Amino acid sequence: MLELGIGSGLNLGFYGPDVTSVVGVDPSPQLLRMAQERSRGARFPVELVGAAGERLPLDDRSVDTVVTTWTMCSVSDPAAALREARRVLRPGGALLFVEHGRAPDRGVRWWQDRLTPAWRCIAGGCHLNRKMDDLVRAAGFRVDNVKTGYLPGPKALTFIYEGRARPD
């Protein structure tokens, strides 16, 4: 399994018994140090790699699952990162994603578009207005299912996409 944007490793404790190993990729040395600490308690091997999602140092068709959680909002080129995810997936593999992004409500989108320039500066490059399901499809995936909705909090910040996709 590849976790694209492993960050501080918070997801490691949530992987089920079918996970036998995780490769965690993140460009931040600070976050990778935190993930290293968390990986010590994992019941499976964890390999941490300092790299950008747009240029994954992995072989073609080398992983069965790619996971992204609240990652694509801050990747500088989400289309390239998703194409890389597709490249490294084995035939029959899956992309699992939970991401926040562009809301369907016109008024909320208005706020997302206006807040994003300032929000990027204070929130690690985060874009509030990326429409994740469209980005996933444009990268060559077939979206098997996607659930959307608002989490508690300000609507401009909390619209999420949760889904599963497979390479076309």
The pLDDT tens digits of the residues spanning 51-89 come to 999 999 999 999 999 999 999 999 999 999 999 999 999
**Per the structure, how many domains does the chain have?**
1
Q: Who contacts 168 (Cβ-Cβ below 8 Å, separation ≥6)?
A: 140, 141, 142
**Domain that residue 156 falls in:** 2-167
Sign of the dihedral through C-alpha 167, 81, 69, 151 = negative
- State the chain's mean pLDDT as an integer: 97
In this predicted structure, what is the pLDDT of residue 25?
98
Residue 41 has pLDDT above 90, yes or no: no
How much is the average pLDDT of 110-133?
97
Does pTM top 0.85 for this prediction? yes
Can you give the pLDDT at residue 16? Answer: 93
User: Following CA atoms 78, 83, 89, 94 in sequence, which dihedral angle do they give, to the nearest 10 degrees?
Assistant: 60
CATH at 155: 3.40.50.150
CA gap 117, 9 in Å, rounded: 27
pLDDT at 168: 86
d(CA 25, CA 48): 6
Mean pLDDT calculated for residue range 96-123: 98
Given this model, what pLDDT does residue 48 score?
A: 98
Amino acid, res. 116? T
DSSP single-letter state for residue 151: P
Question: What's the mean pLDDT in 143-166?
Answer: 97
